[in-house]
């Protein structure tokens, strides 16, 4: 079963959500949202999500939106992260990192911020691969995933279905905030 209820000991339940390509991501279940006779889940990854950027000597870092899980750059990132006792996980939706991460120092954040589409990131590691400089950054804004629950299984909501359901989920969450 994909949904594990851990409420008996005060823990947040976890959900294993699968993407259309078969990859999976273990997430905390934040909210259940019923819409049009379907149950959707607002989820956050259990492991720390990271984003890959290409770093240039001049100009802002460039977010790499899509990357194959077999990309050679990620093999280099694996090695660099292992030096810090961290592991790169190629999961559904995003790359994640497992291991003990240091809490960010608020004074250092101002120096290392990368702004892209109003999101803020903290540099985790930088490395060279294929004669270019790259960085793995941790998004400082919450990273949410939407899953569709059916028969105890969770599937990732992506593409057109996500575009259709996102405003309905946002509206439902706003309504819940107003009634709290």
Strand partners, 89: 96
Quick one: pLDDT at residue 119? 63
The predicted-structure confidence for 94-151, as pLDDT tens digits, reads as follows 899 998 876 655 555 444 444 444 468 899 999 998 889 999 999 988 889 999 998 8
Structure tokens at 175: 């309504």
Quick one: pLDDT at residue 105? 55
Is the model's pLDDT at 5 over the cut of 60?
Answer: no
**Taking the chain, what is the end-to-end CA distance rounded to the nearest angstrom?**
32
CA–CA gap between residue 16 and residue 153 (Å, rounded): 8
Dihedral sign, Cα of residue 18, residue 19, residue 23, residue 27? negative
Q: Give exposure, 121-134, as e/b (b: 16+ Cβ within 10 Å).
A: bbbbbebebeeeeb
pTM to 2 decimal places: 0.77
The predicted-structure confidence for 22-48, as pLDDT tens digits, reads as follows 889 999 999 999 998 999 999 999 999
CA–CA gap between residue 119 and residue 29 (Å, rounded): 23
Task: Quote the percentage of the chain above a pLDDT of 70.
Answer: 83
Residue 173: pLDDT band (50, 70, 90) is confident
Structure tokens at 142: 């919450």
Q: What is the mean pLDDT of the chain?
A: 83
Residue 7: pLDDT band (50, 70, 90) is very low
CA–CA gap between residue 95 and residue 88 (Å, rounded): 7
Quick one: pLDDT at residue 149? 93
The predicted-structure confidence for 68-77, as pLDDT tens digits, reads as follows 767 888 999 9
The predicted-structure confidence for 51-102, as pLDDT tens digits, reads as follows 999 998 887 889 988 877 678 889 999 999 999 999 999 887 889 999 887 6
CB atoms closer than 10 angstroms to residue 6: 12
* Count of residues making up the chain: 180
Structure tokens at 171: 């509206």
Strands (E) in the chain, as ranges, are: 3-4, 14-18, 24-35, 38-45, 48-55, 62-63, 87-90, 95-98, 114-116, 119-129, 132-139, 145-150, 153-156
């Amino acid at each position: 079963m994909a949904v594990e209820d851990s409420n008996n000991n005060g823990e947040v339940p976890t959900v294993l959500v699968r993407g259309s390509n078969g990859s999976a991501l273990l997430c905390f279940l934040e909210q259940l949202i019923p819409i049009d006779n379907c149950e959707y889940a607002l989820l956050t990854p259990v492991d720390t999500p990271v984003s890959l950027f290409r770093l240039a000597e001049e100009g802002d870092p460039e977010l790499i939106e899509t990357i194959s899980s077999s990309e050679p750059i990620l093999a280099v990132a694996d090695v660099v992260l292992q030096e810090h006792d961290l592991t790169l996980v190629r999961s559904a939706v995003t790359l994640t990192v497992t291991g003990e991460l240091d809490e960010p120092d608020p004074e250092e954040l101002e120096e290392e911020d990368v702004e892209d589409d109003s999101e803020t990131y903290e540099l985790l590691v930088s490395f060279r691969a294929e004669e270019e400089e790259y960085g793995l950054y941790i998004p400082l804004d919450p990273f949410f995933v939407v899953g569709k629950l059916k028969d105890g299984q969770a599937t990732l909501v992506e593409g057109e279905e996500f575009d259709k359901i996102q405003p309905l989920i946002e509206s439902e969450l706003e309504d819940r905030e107003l009634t709290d």
